[in-house]
Structures are given as structure tokens and as C-alpha cells.
């Protein structure tokens, strides 16, 4: 590092030593610490430096530095804040990303530190004043925007400030009014209620009335007149009224400039930027309209960095964008995913591979490679779900699905797909976990059938199922914990090679051979995976079984553990109790061993350790006509699981698609597809494995292996109504009226399901009626294989405990076959909402004026005999959406189509 040495400001002593925030303010051109009791209170006449320190699971600290500029701060304070942020970065070892934050245009990352919001105070900050100044109460009008990180902006107290797009809060001495623009979303209104609570607690000591009003429905209640009296009486809001917040630019252009040592800018590229353009002894400015990035090479001095930052400020001033654009300062090697996305050849971020010389030597190994970390503890082998559940396994082969017996061990084949249904108890209620497992050589048709049958099983499981799709060689540990002992063979049930057959029935074919990699976390979760019988498939971190017609070899890798050796012995015993294996340690193999494997070749002697980003990330998703857009939610909490949304929780080893209770049916039907699109996008440029396991979790039935990523409050997960109604109930202090929502509810309207005492007066929260639907719409008629699947006797294996024998828990049960003209809903009730006929007819024969009408049908529900495709064509909606409409409207639509 060739930065010019600078003496660090003593105020930075102890900064970055523990997780959390540190905040300083510029006062008299000096940096002074802000009392923790005042964190989140920013004065518009001052400039601040904010450090956020995060301790990652890997044990390393991660830093973000923000310097916040109030709209009324003087130029000297702004410059001082910028310099002190750069000085703080140097103090921390130049390993932080710096963000320039402008009042009213803060990044969502910055806003996420101060929940629920930031409401800047007037005037400059004073460290001598222990209390807020300006205690004289005055009426204030605030505009709110945002569904997760909300921006709050005080606007002129005038009727002209109101518009149809934003949510407004009118704060008066005795009452707080929430006014929701007709174009605002339910999520924005719900988030604004958190701001109302914040104002009530901080400006009214928690003692204040709250009234909610809705744009366009402003008659018939005293609160309406009281609200408009503050504006001199009611006047309609202009249709052309503009939002109080600037809209982001949509037609983005990209330009990159080199910044000279004198602060001059020279354009060096536009679109399709190349990584080779960036030189370690230079600084660059990348302009993408909404965002400005200043990239500083590792060999740049402190003086040169200050010059580059001043040049960026001058560029913004010249362009008239000082208060609109966000500036991110990056040091070489710390580039954000968004910055990297502008370059066509930026290499993917890959995990560091390091050699492991046994568990007890991990710490020493890391230190040799420059990682100052402590020895890693043994991984937790405890299952994340109840291990006393029941197990069913189905084989999907040639688009036919059949129930398997569940022996010990369970044998899977790479050319097939399988369904694994595990039912377990949580607080006295049954929950189901459904896996669709895709063999590495399985057909796309079988994969599609496996997903379809998984969704069908979910519809029969009372709506309490968590779904997952997993690919061979990418299985999550939990999958193996459920199956316990698994042997994965190549080929299919019809095509077994002689060596594999010999493993199970003692055949001896001198020419055949099979190689298995042995793995697992304990004797209750172990696997043998067949691989190509060649030496390049060996790996020092594992044990292997090499079986020929006459000899069984057990090969022990030098980096394998004592636990691996124990699992190896147990797997050999399970495969064939008559075997007497020849034990061979890595490095002492006889020549005959290598001859069996076709000769000695190079193989992996390194084991991967995951470094870098390990913490989960939460994203809000929007899927429109197949186009997926995502927006990260920073510093997320359980409260960010908004019932109207579909969110993706991206973890190191798996991805969860969380489906809100009030989210759209279209997204629910395509949840797995959404997860696959997310993996393909690789938003954080982490090199995500496209075959990573994908879980689909529904609101109200979150499993423990999902909730462990949150500070989970079960009572919040049981709240009823849309997000606005839930927040309003809490604000009014009536949480006892919030009912547990269940998957059996066929309607979930914002009005009819909310108690009168919680309804927003004088109007509703704009929560339109919405039908509660199954997780996925199945086709009206089941395939023959699926009928057999649901009508066959079901053999189950009861898992008593991690160490119990499966044979001790076997029993038979049955699943009844659905009636031919009915489909069972999430609670096994049959309602008008779920009636679907297995026999379909064309619309031409079903309508009341048909020339060749159909007889022997229920004429009160002719629409139920339409195919799914023709139903949507005629009605312009899915069945679930149709049955969610009021009966009078359904009848009206049926009359218009001559189906009534």
C-alpha cells in the first residue's frame, strides 16, 4: 500500500472493533462523536460520518462508511465530512466502501440502519445541547415513499403538496392523520404507519389519536372534515400533481472518465467497458446517471484520492446533479456487484480453495495463507427439523410416478427423478417437506413431471408444505438427514451394471467394477455416491469404495477424518455384510489398485472452504411477463416479509422463495421458475451454482430451517389481514383481534376479514378483495400416473429418532382417491371454489344456446366442465380468480357467456 502516511484523528480510536454503528458530526470543522441516544437524529444544517461494522460468519469484519450531507450544511462542513470519511477508511486499512449520502436521496442501505425512518431536524447539530432544539410544537406535513426502506420528507404545509402517488402524514398537536394517495401501494401505507408510530412515540410521548384517510373516499366522517380544515377546506387534488420524490432516470447511459492528478476528467469509454481499462495507479469516474462511482487504484496516494473526490464533486456541480446523484467510492479489490456489472469481462467471484491437513490443523493452514482466524469448530450435526416424522418416496420414470418401498439403505438412480415426502410435527400440527430430486442423467420430461407431482402432493397436504427441488451432487444436508442412509447409483432401475448388482446380491463378475465416494456427517446421515471408476475421481478429503468382482478396496484420503472412517466401515457393512475389504491409505496404494482404475492420474487434493460473503441476502422480486426484477432489502427483519410480496432469501448453500399470503397467484404458480431465474441473474455476482437447491416457503408455514435466519416471533407469523391492517391493529393496540390465517381460508379480503374495531376510519386501507388460493393450479384432469399415485396404498417409514432403526417404525396407511368430479382443497373440504370436473367439454356444447348441448351435467355450474385453457380464454382469468369474485359478479359473467 503506497498511501501517504497520515495521523489518524483520535476520535477514531476503537472504531471498527465491534459490530454496530459509530456516528460523528462535523462541528466547527472538527469531527465530534454523536451520543448513542441521538443516533438517527440528523440535522439538515450539518454533515455526518457514519461507520457500519458487520461481523461476518467467517469471522472477518466488513465496513461501510457513509458521509451524510444535510441540505443546509455549508460547503466547508461538506468538504470536511468527505475528507474525514477518507481518513477513516485509511484508519481501517482501506478496506471499506464509501457512500456519499444526500438528504432526501439516501441509499436504502443507509436508511436500513435507522428503522423505521430518518426525519431530519432543522438547523445545525450542537454537541452541547443534550436535548432536541426547537421544542415549540408546530404542525408538520410529511411525504412518505418506499415499501421497505422508507423515505420521509417534510413538505410545505399546503394543499398543493398533496398528490395521488405518495402517502402523507399530517402531524398536529392532538392528532396524527395518515392520508394515502390512491396510487400508493398497500406496502407503502403499511410502512407509513411505522412512521406514524415513530412520530407518536417521539413527538407525543405515545399519547395521541391517529386517523387514517384514503384518497378518493373522503366523505361521511368527522375526521375528513377535521383533516381538510387544516388546509382551509376541501378541494380536489389535481390529476397532474407530481410526487414529492424525484423519479429515477430510466434511460441510463454509461460513461467512464479518467481523473488526472490535477482533477481533470478525460472520457475513456462508454458502453461495454473492459476491465483492462482500470489501472492501479489511476482514479476513474463512472457515470450511470443515477449513480456515480469513483474507483481508486490501490497504489493511489491519499492526496490523489482527495483530488479524485473533489473532481467528482465538481463534475456533479457542473452537471447540476449535486443533490440528485448517489456517489460510491471504491478501492481496487472492493468493487460492488453493481459496479462490476458495467464491465463485460469481470471475472466471477470465486471461493478460495485451501488444503486441509486434518480438522485439528485448520487454523494453522489458514494462517499460512494469510487468514487470521481461529480454528473452525465441528459443524453442527443436529437436524433442523423434527426427526420423528414419516417418510414416503416416489419414483418418477418415463413420466410415470409410482410409490417405492423405503428400505435401508435407500437406493436412488441417476437416470430417474424421485419425490421425497417427509411429514413431521411442529407444536402439535403436521407440516410436510416435499423434495423433487433430479438425477444427473434424468430427462427433462421426468423433471417436469416430478415438479408437477410435488405441487399436486402439496395441494393435498392441507397447505402446510414446504417444497424443494434439488439436483444430484447439490443436495442440501437436510435432504440426507431425512433419508438417513442413501446409495446413489449411476444408470436406472432397468440398467444396473454387474458391479452394482454384486454389491447387493454377492454376484462376482471379474470384468465389472464400481467406485463409490463415501460422505456424511454422522452414522444417521451417510451416503455412498457412485462415480466413474477412474483415478481422477478420487479426492483426498473423502474415503472411497472400489468394488470389483473379486476384491473390495476401501481407500482412505489423507484429509479424511475419523468420523469419515467410521462412516466408511458402516457403509461397507450395509452394502454387503459378507465383504472383507482391503484397506488402502492414500499414498500407499499397490499397483493393482491403479490398474483397476485405468492407471494413476491427477486428482483433487484440496478441499474448498467458503470465504467471503456467507451471510444471507433478502430480495423483493417482481416478475412481469417473464422478466424478473429484484431489489435488495438490507438489514432485513421478519417485518420485511410483507404478505403482498414474493421474496427471495439467498443463502450460501440454498435459495428460499417466500410466497406471501396475499401475493398474486401467477407468481405462486411459477415460484420454482422464479428461483431459477434468480440464480441465473446472480445479482451479487457471486458465481451462484445454477443447480443450487430451491425451497418454496408459504407464509404462515415457515419451517425452522427458514426462520433461523431471522429473530422470529411466532405471534407475528399468525397475523391476519393485509400488511396495512396488521400494522394498524398494532398501532391501535388491538393485536388480540388479529386471527391466525390458515390455508383453508378461501377468501382474504381486507375489509370483510378485519374486525370493525380495527378498520381504518373513515375509509378502508384500499385492500381489494382477493381469493385465497392453493399454492398452484393443477390441470382440471389428472394424468393416469397421478391418479395411481394418489390412489395407491402408501407405505411410510416413521423416523423415531436419529439413531432408531427404520424397520422399527414401518406401518401402512392409505391416501384416499379424490372423487372424479372434485378436487380436494388445502383442508380436504370440497367447496364451490374448488369444484373442477375431470370430464371436460367444449364451450360450444356447454352454453345454453348450443346446437349440440351436453346432457347429464350440473347445469348450475356449467363453467366447471370447461378445460383450464378454454376457461381462461372465455373468462379472461384463472378459475381461482373467478371463484374469488362475489357471487353476483360471477353470475353476471356466466350470463354474458350463456353459461347461467
DSSP string computed for 840-884: ---HHHHSTT-SS---SS-GGGGGGGS-HHHHHHHHSS-HHHHHT
Give 673-681's long-range contacts (Cβ < 8 A, gap of 24+): 674/621, 674/623, 674/628, 674/646, 674/648, 675/648, 677/623, 677/628, 678/619, 678/621, 678/628, 678/630, 678/648, 678/650, 679/655, 681/628, 681/630
Give the per-residue pLDDT at 4: 38
Give the side-chain half-sphere CA count within 13 A for 426.
Answer: 16
Lowest mean pLDDT among 13-22, 358-367, 511-520: 358-367
Give the per-residue pLDDT at 415: 94
Lowest mean pLDDT among 53-62, 134-143, 270-279, 774-783: 774-783
Q: What is the mean pLDDT of the chain?
A: 80
In this prediction, residues 20-27 reach a mean pLDDT of 95
pTM, two decimals, is: 0.79
Most confident of 458-467, 490-499, 710-719: 710-719
In this prediction, residues 595-606 reach a mean pLDDT of 90
Lowest mean pLDDT among 137-146, 371-380, 836-845: 371-380
Give 892-897's long-range contacts (Cβ < 8 A, gap of 24+): 894/862, 894/863, 897/843, 897/847
pLDDT at 27 over 60: yes
CA 645 – CA 631 distance, rounded (Å): 12
C-alpha cell at 412: 436412488
CA 896 – CA 898 distance, rounded (Å): 6
Give the per-residue pLDDT at 77: 93
In this prediction, residues 448-477 reach a mean pLDDT of 88
pLDDT tens for 200-245 read: 998 898 888 999 999 877 665 788 889 999 998 888 888 888 888 8
pLDDT at 774 over 80: no
In this prediction, residues 79-98 reach a mean pLDDT of 93
Lowest mean pLDDT among 294-303, 700-709, 810-819, 869-878: 810-819
Give the per-residue pLDDT at 838: 60
Q: What is the DSSP letter of 708?
A: T
Residue 393 CA from chain centroid, whole number: 28
CA 38 – CA 335 distance, rounded (Å): 32
**β-bridge partners, 699:** none
In this prediction, residues 243-261 reach a mean pLDDT of 82
Find where cell 441465473 sits: 680
pLDDT at 640 over 70: yes
Assign 274 a pLDDT band (cuts: 50, 70, 90): confident
In this prediction, residues 781-803 reach a mean pLDDT of 49
CA distances from residue 113 to 37, 82, 102 in whole angstroms, order as listed = 14, 20, 15
Give the per-residue pLDDT at 244: 86
Beta strands 485-489 and 410-413: pairing type?
Answer: parallel
pLDDT at 76 over 70: yes
Assign 836 a pLDDT band (cuts: 50, 70, 90): low
pLDDT: which is higher, 250 or 165: 165
Give the per-residue pLDDT at 263: 92
Q: Is 119 exposed, middle or buried (0-12, 13-18, 19+ CB in 10 A)?
A: buried
pLDDT tens for 712-754 read: 988 888 788 899 999 998 888 776 444 444 443 323 333 333 3
Assign 294 a pLDDT band (cuts: 50, 70, 90): very high
pLDDT tens for 642-673 read: 999 999 999 988 999 999 989 987 777 789 99
Lowest mean pLDDT among 642-656, 669-683, 783-797, 807-821: 807-821
pLDDT: which is higher, 233 or 757: 233
pLDDT at 805 over 50: no
CA 183 – CA 161 distance, rounded (Å): 15
Give the per-residue pLDDT at 821: 34
Assign 763 a pLDDT band (cuts: 50, 70, 90): very low
Sorted by sequence, the CB contacts under 8 Å of residue 622 that are 6+ apart come out as: 628, 629, 630, 631
Sorted by sequence, the CB contacts under 8 Å of residue 329 that are 6+ apart come out as: 85, 86, 97, 98, 99, 100, 293, 294, 296, 309
**β-bridge partners, 176:** 171, 210
pLDDT at 319 over 70: yes
Most confident of 165-169, 430-434, 460-464: 165-169
DSSP, residue by residue, 648-691: EEE-SS-EEEEE-TTS-HHHHHTHHHHHHHHHHH-TT-S---TT
In this prediction, residues 853-864 reach a mean pLDDT of 80
pLDDT at 101 over 80: yes
pLDDT tens for 152-166 read: 999 999 999 999 999
CA 18 – CA 12 distance, rounded (Å): 13
Give the per-residue pLDDT at 548: 86
C-alpha cell at 569: 466401515
Assign 129 a pLDDT band (cuts: 50, 70, 90): low
Give the per-residue pLDDT at 744: 35
pLDDT at 613 over 50: no
Cβ–Cβ under 8 Å, residues 485 and 574: yes
Amino acid at each position: 500500500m503506497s498511501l501517504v502516511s497520515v495521523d489518524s484523528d483520535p476520535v477514531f480510536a476503537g472504531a471498527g472493533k465491534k459490530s454496530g454503528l459509530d456516528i460523528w458530526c462535523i462541528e466547527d470543522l472538527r469531527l465530534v462523536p454523536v451520543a448513542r441516544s441521538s443516533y438517527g437524529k440528523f440535522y439538515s444544517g450539518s454533515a455526518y460520518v457514519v461507520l457500519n461494522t458487520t461481523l461476518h460468519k467467517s469471522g472477518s469484519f466488513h465496513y461501510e462508511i457513509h458521509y451524510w450531507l444535510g441540505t443546509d450544511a455549508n460547503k466547508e462542513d461538506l468538504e470536511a465530512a468527505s475528507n474525514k470519511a477518507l481518513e477513516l477508511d485509511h484508519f481501517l486499512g482501506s478496506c471499506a466502501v464509501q457512500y456519499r449520502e444526500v438528504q432526501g436521496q439516501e441509499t436504502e442501505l443507509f436508511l436500513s440502519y435507522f428503522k423505521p425512518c430518518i426525519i431530519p431536524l432543522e438547523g445545525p447539530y450542537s454537541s452541547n445541547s443534550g436535548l432536541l432544539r426547537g421544542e415549540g410544537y408546530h404542525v408538520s406535513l410529511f411525504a412518505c415513499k418506499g415499501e421497505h426502506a422508507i423515505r420521509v420528507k417534510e413538505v410545505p404545509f399546503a394543499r398543493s403538496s398533496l398528490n395521488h402517488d405518495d402517502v402523507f402524514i399530517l402531524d398536529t398537536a392532538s392528532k396524527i392523520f395518515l392520508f394515502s394517495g390512491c396510487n400508493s401501494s398497500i406496502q407503502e401505507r403499511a410502512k407509513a404507519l411505522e412512521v406514524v408510530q415513530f412520530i407518536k412515540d417521539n413527538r407525543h410521548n405515545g399519547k395521541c389519536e391517529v386517523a387514517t384517510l384514503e384518497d378518493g373516499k373522503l366523505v361521511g366522517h368527522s375526521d375528513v372534515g377535521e383533516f381538510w380544515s387544516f388546509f382551509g377546506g376541501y378541494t380536489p387534488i389535481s390529476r397532474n400533481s407530481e410526487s414529492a420524490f424525484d423519479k429515477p432516470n430510466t434511460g441510463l447511459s454509461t460513461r467512464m472518465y479518467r481523473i488526472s492528478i490535477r482533477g481533470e476528467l478525460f472520457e475513456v469509454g462508454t458502453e461495454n467497458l473492459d476491465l483492462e481499462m482500470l489501472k492501479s495507479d489511476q482514479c476513474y469516474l463512472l457515470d450511470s446517471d443515477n449513480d456515480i462511482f469513483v474507483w481508486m487504484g490501490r497504489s493511489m496516494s491519499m492526496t490523489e484520492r482527495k483530488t479524485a473526490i473533489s473532481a467528482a464533486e465538481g463534475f456533479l456541480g457542473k452537471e447540476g446533479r449535486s443533490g440528485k446523484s448517489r456517489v460510491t467510492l471504491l478501492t481496487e479489490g472492493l468493487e460492488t456487484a453493481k459496479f462490476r456489472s458495467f464491465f463485460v469481462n469481470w471475472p466471477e467471484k470465486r471461493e478460495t480453495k485451501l488444503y486441509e491437513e486434518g480438522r485439528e490443523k485448520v487454523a494453522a493452514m489458514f494462517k499460512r495463507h494469510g487468514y487470521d482466524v481461529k480454528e473452525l469448530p465441528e459443524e453442527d450435526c443436529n437436524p433442523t427439523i423434527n426427526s420423528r416424522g414419516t417418510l414416503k418416496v416416489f419414483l418418477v420414470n418415463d413420466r410415470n410416478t409410482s410409490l417405492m418401498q423405503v428400505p435401508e439403505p435407500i437406493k436412488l438412480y441417476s437416470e430417474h427423478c424421485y419425490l421425497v415426502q417427509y411429514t413431521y410435527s411442529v407444536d402439535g400440527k403436521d407440516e410436510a417437506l416435499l423434495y423433487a430430486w433430479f438425477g444427473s442423467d434424468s430427462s427433462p420430461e421426468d423433471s417436469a413431471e416430478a415438479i408437477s407431482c410435488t405441487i399436486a402432493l402439496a395441494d393435498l397436504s392441507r397447505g402446510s408444505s414446504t417444497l424443494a427441488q434439488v439436483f444430484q451432487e447439490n443436495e442440501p444436508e437436510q435432504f440426507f438427514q431425512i433419508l438417513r442412509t442413501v446409495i446413489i447409483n449411476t444408470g436406472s432401475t432397468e440398467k444396473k451394471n454387474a458391479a452394482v448388482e454384486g454389491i447387493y446380491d454377492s454376484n462376482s463378475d471379474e470384468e465389472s467394477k464400481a467406485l463409490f465416494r463415501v460422505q456424511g456427517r454422522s452414522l444417521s446421515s451417510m451416503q455412498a455416491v457412485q462415480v466413474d471408476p477412474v483415478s481422477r475421481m478420487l479426492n483426498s478429503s473423502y474415503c472411497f469404495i472400489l468394488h470389483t468382482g473379486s476384491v473390495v478396496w476401501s481407500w482412505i484420503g489423507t484429509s479424511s477424518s475419523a468420523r469419515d472412517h467410521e462412516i466408511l466401515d458402516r457403509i461397507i457393512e450395509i452394502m454387503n455384510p459378507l465383504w472383507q475389504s482391503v484397506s488402502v491409505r492414500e499414498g500407499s496404494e499397490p499397483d493393482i489398485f491403479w490398474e483397476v482404475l485405468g492407471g494413476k492420474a491427477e486428482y483433487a487434493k484440496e478441499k474448498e472452504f467458503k470465504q467471503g460473503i456467507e451471510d444471507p441476502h433478502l430480495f423483493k422480486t417482481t416478475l412481469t411477463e417473464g422478466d424478473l426484477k429484484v431489489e435488495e432489502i438490507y438489514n432485513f427483519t421478519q417485518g420485511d416479509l410483507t404478505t403482498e410480496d414474493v421474496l427471495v432469501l439467498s443463502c450460501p448453500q440454498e435459495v428460499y422463495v417466500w410466497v406471501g399470503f396475499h401475493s398474486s397467484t401467477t407468481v405462486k404458480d411459477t415460484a420454482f421458475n422464479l428461483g431459477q431465474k434468480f440464480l441465473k441473474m446472480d445479482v451479487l455476482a457471486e458465481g451462484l451454482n445454477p443447480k443450487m437447491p430451491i425451497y418454496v416457503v408459504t407464509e404462515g408455514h415457515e419451517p425452522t430451517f427458514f426462520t433461523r435466519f431471522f429473530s422470529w416471533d411466532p405471534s407475528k407469523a399468525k397475523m391476519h389481514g393485509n400488511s396495512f391492517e396488521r400494522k394498524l391493529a398494532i398501532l391501535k393496540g388491538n393485536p388480540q383481534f388479529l386471527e391466525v390465517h390458515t390455508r383453508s381460508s378461501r377468501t382474504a379480503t381486507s375489509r370483510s376479514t378485519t374486525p370493525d374495531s380495527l378498520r381504518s376510519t373513515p375509509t378502508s386501507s384500499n385492500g381489494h378483495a382477493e381469493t385465497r388460493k392453493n399454492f398452484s393450479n393443477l390441470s382440471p384432469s389428472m394424468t393416469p400416473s397421478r391418479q395411481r399415485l394418489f390412489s395407491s396404498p402408501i407405505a411410510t417409514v416413521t423416523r423415531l429418532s436419529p439413531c432408531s432403526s427404520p424397520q422399527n417404525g414401518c406401518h401402512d396407511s392409505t391416501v384416499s382417491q379424490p372423487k372424479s368430479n372434485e378436487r380436494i382443497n388445502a383442508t380436504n373440504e370440497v367447496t364451490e371454489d374448488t369444484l373442477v370436473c375431470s370430464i371436460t367439454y367444449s364451450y360450444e356444447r356447454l352454453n345454453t344456446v348450443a346446437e349440440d348441448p351436453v346432457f347429464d351435467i350440473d347445469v348450475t355450474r356449467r363453467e366447471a366442465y370447461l378445460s383450464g385453457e378454454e376457461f381462461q380464454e372465455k373468462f379472461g382469468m384463472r378459475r381461482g380468480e373467478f371463484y374469488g369474485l362475489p357471487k353476483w359478479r360471477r353470475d353476471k359473467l356466466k350470463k354474458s357467456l350463456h353459461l347461467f
